Chains A and B, each alone.
Chain A
Amino acid sequence: MKALSVQNIDMVYDLPKGGSVHALSNIEFDLEGGRLLTLLGPSGCGKTTLLNIIAGFLGPTSGEVYLGEEKITGPSEDRGMVFQQGALFEWLNVSKNISFGPRMKGARKSDYLPEVDRLLDIVGLSGFGDKQIYELSGGMQQRVALARCLANDPDMMLMDEPLGALDALTREKMQSLILHLWNDTGKSIVMVTHSVEEALLLGDKVFVMAPRPGRIEKIYELPFAHRALTEDPREIKKGADFQEVKEEILSFIWEMEEEIMGRDEA
């Protein structure tokens, strides 16, 4: 899988009433292929902006992003997206949603149907191909979104709070699914999440970001994602090492939030 190279990104939004927001400042990092990077931080820290720049939906004010040798200038099927919700096509059934990417490239039914069945099996939805999207629960819909993303065989999967709208139990199951997909396919994943626990469990690399201007404040390389492939994720979360990092990040985010509130009052 191709490496991601983010080179000196700055993002400045002009506000309609004058003034500007420094959403991202001097973001620079390299991510080897096959890593699972989670982006964490208080709201306004620019984590979604960074994801959208990698996806090619936004162009940075300055700086460049490369996937492998190729400079990112817009969205492309080598970077698949999974959104929190509302990105599936309700007028298509599950199979047609999953095969959307191949069909846009002119794939024939005989070509994509076996692949759709394989993907349904991988995300645990065997036999659901003919169901309509609105007949599925939120968790099942996200499984379809993952399968649809994989159908294009992208180098990298970008996820914008993919589990944010799910209940706690479904969320845990989906976390395991994402980890196993990551391990089995070897694809790079960049995921934005609000949940510290989720970021630590899934990310074999975690960026904690800070706002005003948006920047990467802390970088962690963590073992929990690999361990969760074989061990019980619940036991990992209970572990002292996990709790220690979690507390560290939580208190760090708390400090940032307080700092922001204080600055607002002044």
Chain B
Amino acid sequence: MARRSDNKTVTFGDAAAVTSRPLWGLLGVITLFGAWFLTTTAFGFPEELKEKYAAVAEENAITAAEARGEPVDFDGLSDKDLFVECQRDSANCDNETSYSQLVSPLSFPSIPDTIGAAGEIFTEGYQNFSIWEHTWASLWRVLRGMFWGSFVGIPVGLAMGLSSRARGFFDPLVEGFRPIPPLALLSLFVLTFGIGDKAAVPLLIFASLWIMIIAARAGVRNASLPKVRASYSLGASKGQLLRKVLIPNALPEIFTGLRVALGVSWGTLVAAELTGVQDGLGAMISQAKNFSRLDVIVVGIVIIALIGVMMDGLIRLLEKILIPWQGKG
């Protein structure tokens, strides 16, 4: 089988000889799911104890469903229902029942529960919003935050790269605000701006603003002196230099900034949606926490991860189309 490092005799330590092997990637994913399966799903609730708890558990499950105002649609007990009853009945449930799973369904959801929750969320939605509404609400929040962060940040960054006064004026502000984790501002923003989007969007703006300032500043400062001098010698005015040379030349750095800002914003999302918004993936997760819906939490996390990967891919694609010269020549 041909390998890329075919004729190299020195490969250990040669970074170019190390490439990602898709098959090993598959193995990594299988290992992850295998561990999940083994620790939460494989062994199930012990058969011999099911009878002891089944009747009461069934009753409880029906009562709970009625209390939530949901239709009683009962077709068998889950391991989780049995486990809840077992724990309620005996303070020492784990020992008494020799409950055999490594991780109880109350600490981490099993694979079937999670798949069930995913099905439920995708068909019925969660907490009065469909999954698409939750996802779009989150995306829209992050996009608004990044738009305003860029709208303010890019001109400020450009000014900092072009003028000593602007550099001096903004330097202490940028250096002072940049290290503050957005989460640390959560409570302050809620009290200052109000609950819901009034605080969530400013928080996301805060997350991307400093990144975009620094990216635009780096982009301008990276302009090579020959390019600038050649432009003037070709008769460009200052305005033309800015529009036709400095800004296009800064695009690679600005795109890198966008990618970083997107990552940070998306990572701040759950925190931003703790400000009392009703819709959004982060809100969905924090509400699911209140009802101990571990399965919903995991589904929410997986959706956030997938969308994060897709958006990063989208920006990479845009980079390839808009700045094809990057990393070449």
Q: Say yes or no: is B291 at the interface (Cβ < 8 Å to chain A).
A: no
> B325: CB under 8 A from chain A?
yes
- Once the chains bind, are A152 and B329 in contact (CB under 8 Å)? no
A133 CA / B326 CA spacing, docked (Å): 11
Of residues 206 through 247 on chain B, the ones whose CB sits less than 8 Å from some CB of chain A are: 224, 226-227, 229-237, 240, 244-245
CB-CB contacts below 8 Å: A146-162 with B: 148, 152, 158
A81 touches B229 (CB 8 A): yes
Q: Which residues of B contact A55 (CB under 8 A)?
A: 229, 233
CB-CB under 8 A from B233, the residues of chain A are 55, 75-77, 79-81, 158
Contact of A104 with B329 at beta-carbon distance under 8 Å, contacts A77-B235, A132-B324 already known = no
In the assembled complex, the Cα of A81 lies from the Cα of B228 at a distance in Å of: 11
B245 adjacent to A89 (CB under 8 Å): yes
CB of A237, distance to nearest CB on chain B (Å)? 29
**Chain B residue contacts of A80, Cβ below 8 A:** 233-234
Give B234-262 as 1s and 0s: 1 = Cβ < 8 Å from A's Cβ atoms: 11110010001100110100000000000
State whether A86 touches B227 (Cβ < 8 A): yes
How many cross-chain pairs have Cβ atoms below 8 Å apart between A and B? 73
Number of interface residues of B (CB under 8 A): 23
B307 proximal to A (CB < 8 A): no
B residues 282-324 in Cβ contact with A at 8 Å: 323-324
B251 contact set on A, CB distance < 8 A: 91
Closest residue of A by beta carbon distance from B245: A89
Specify which chain A residues have a CB less than 8 angstroms from the CB of B226 in the assembled complex. 81, 83-87
Partner of A133, one of B244, B323, B325: B325
Residue from the list A83, A85, A152 in contact with B235, Cβ < 8 A: A152
Most buried by A among B226, B231, B249: B226
A90 at the interface (CB under 8 A from B): yes
B328 within 8 A of partner (CB): yes
Identify B328's interface contact among A86, A91, A134, CB under 8 A: A134
Report the minimum CB–CB distance from B223 to chain A (whole Å): 10
A81-B229, A83-B226, A104-B240 given; A91·B323 CB < 8 A: yes
Beyond the given pairs A74-B232, A75-B233, A87-B226, 6 more chain A to chain B contacts, judged by CB atoms under 8 angstroms and listed by A's residue number, are A76-B233, A83-B226, A87-B227, A88-B227, A91-B248, A134-B329
Where the two chains meet, the residues of A that have a C-beta atom closer than 8 Å to any C-beta of B are 55, 57, 74-77, 79-81, 83-91, 100-101, 104-105, 132-134, 141, 148, 152, 158
Q: List 29 A-B contacts (CB under 8 A).
A: A55-B229, A55-B233, A57-B229, A74-B232, A76-B235, A77-B235, A79-B233, A80-B233, A81-B226, A81-B229, A81-B230, A83-B226, A84-B226, A86-B224, A86-B227, A87-B226, A87-B227, A88-B227, A89-B245, A90-B325, A91-B248, A91-B249, A91-B325, A100-B231, A101-B235, A104-B236, A132-B325, A134-B328, A148-B234
